[in-house]
Amino acid sequence: MSGTILDPVVHATLLAGGIVHEVLPCDPELADTAAFCEHYGVPIEQAANTILVASKKVDPPRYAICVVLGTTRLDVNRKVSELLGVKRLSFADAETTVALTGMMIGGVTAFGIEGLPVYVDSAVLAQPQVVMGGGNRSSKLLLDPRELTRLPNAEVVEGLALPRDLEPGTP
């Protein structure tokens, strides 16, 4: 398949950091997590989503990159707001995501992003390997999730995400 080259900034970051990884080709139409996992036979619990969040009503806005499993949902207004010290957050829109990361939704990865905190849910590290964006919609990275801890701005956070069937505050 042509066009499977990683984003150049992501590729340079992986090489410079000695990050052990494998590049997987991806049909851009199947880059979103559920479609990718179903088509390529990857268990959703091994998909690591990278999400840019943005503060609301704070000037200048605060941003963070969050990495969570496909089986969970980010605890935006509790855990992430606590980490960033703001009251309200939302998922950044596609335009903001491209402006701050240089990556399209469906291809965002924590590698190659500078100047933003990277919060990694501790459940991600419990997986033997994860698949995550390659910086574009035509490639994915397969790696040991502990490689994420090698990022200088990464912090592993317990409870960053909740199982999809639980609401905040439920046991």
> What confidence tens digit (pLDDT) does each residue in 120-141 have?
999 999 999 999 999 999 999 9
Whether the per-residue pLDDT at 3 is higher than 50: the answer is no
Bridging pattern class, strands 63-69 and 118-121: parallel
Task: Tell me the whole-structure pTM to 2 decimals.
Answer: 0.92
Q: Evaluate whether 80 touches 111 at the Cβ level (below 8 Å).
A: no
Tell me which residue has tokens 């639980």.
166
Bridging pattern class, strands 72-74 and 161-163: antiparallel
Helix (H/G/I), strand (E/B), else coil: 132: strand
Q: What pLDDT is stored for residue 58 in this prediction?
A: 78
Domains of the chain are 8-158 (3.90.960.10)
**C-alpha span between 21 and 109 (Å, rounded):** 13
pLDDT, one tens digit per residue, over 28-64 is: 999 999 999 999 999 999 999 999 999 988 789 999 9
